[in-house]
Amino acid sequence: MRLATIGRMFSYRHAFHAGNHADVLKHTVLIATLQHLLQKDAALTVLDTHAGAGLYRLDGDYASTSAESADGILRLVPPAAPAALAPALQDYVDMVRAFNQGEATRVYPGSPFIAQRLLRAQDRLKLFELHPTDARALAGNVAQLDAGRQVAVLAQDGFEGARQFLPPPSRRALVLCDPSYEIKSDYARVQDMLQDALKRFATGVYAVWYPIIPRPEAHELPRRLKTLAQKAGKSWLHATLTVKSGKTAPAGTAPGRRPGLPASGMFLINPPFTLDAALRAALPQMAELLAQDRHAAWTLEGGAP
């Protein structure tokens, strides 16, 4: 692998984007999915292929630099919160608030800590993070949980590492895959990983987050995943959230500053049957409350085997 590629691989830090509109979508879906899967007594294994640091300070240097949480989670919590939220969106807000004291929302839990908070004693959580700084931060944050053997932090490539845990001993698993996609090859690696995972463990639940940006690979990914699910005879669900136009920067954006992510999607294979209804109630509220211009919208489609 060339040095330039390695440099790009390690340039992305989720701390800059913690609590933004993409996190609202991703973590609302994650919580609703886990809540359904955890209704069965049998143990569940959760694999997070790109775990990040796990916990983020919204008033820290990274998050405050981009301030993306101001147009994400902070629009959904007091005093900005509306009177009533859809159940799935309210569960997400309640989860974030559980990591904070008082009225201010200063701490944002990433996927690892959201999952760990929901899991039971018999469940297992495998966290992969290749970025050296984030891997150290993740290990330090997890150490404070006193979770014992329930949570494992692995400083390795999640695309490859997840394979060793499929199928899990309990034959029940959720795989969350949300790479940065800064490297174009990530799009193909997502597809390759899911294709391999379905061969190893056809009944697992697979959740993929991706950015909706002006790049051919980004538009092709959900189509390819839909074809993959259909060929495998699996049900699928595809949700998208758009908060603004991706063509122009919003008014007030500083010259030279990147306009930011306009939209993102979640694609699930073998989704819980309850997730469609949960998102049909939550997505319209997300689009309304997180809108940055008149182009805000949402979509939800799915298919059965």
Is 50 marked as binding a ligand?
yes
Residue for token digits 């200063």? 106
CA gyration radius, the chain: 18
Dihedral angle at the C-alpha atoms of 13, 65, 239, 138, nearest 10 degrees?
40
Is 146 marked as binding a ligand?
no
H or E stretch including 8? helix 3-9
* SS3 at position 91: helix
CA atoms within 13 A on the CB side of 225: 33
Is 178 marked as binding a ligand?
yes
Q: Are strands 124-128 and 151-154 parallel, antiparallel or unpaired?
A: parallel
Is 161 marked as binding a ligand?
no
Which residues have a catalytic role annotated?
A: 178
Residue 207's closest CA among 179, 232, 188? 179
CA atoms within 13 A on the CB side of 260: 27
**Cis link prior to 87 (omega < 30° from 0)?**
no
Q: How far apart are CA 125 and CA 265, in angstroms?
A: 24
Cα dist from 138 to 22, 23, 72, 97, whole Å: 21, 18, 23, 20
Is 158 marked as binding a ligand?
yes
**What are the phi and psi torsion angles at 303 (to 5°)?**
-150, 150
Task: Name the residue type at position 164.
Answer: Q
Is 71 marked as binding a ligand?
no
Q: How far apart are CA 67 and CA 229, in angstroms?
A: 37
Annotated binding site: 27, 50, 111, 129, 157-158, 178
Annotated binding site for S-adenosyl-L-methionine: 27, 50, 111, 129, 157-158, 178
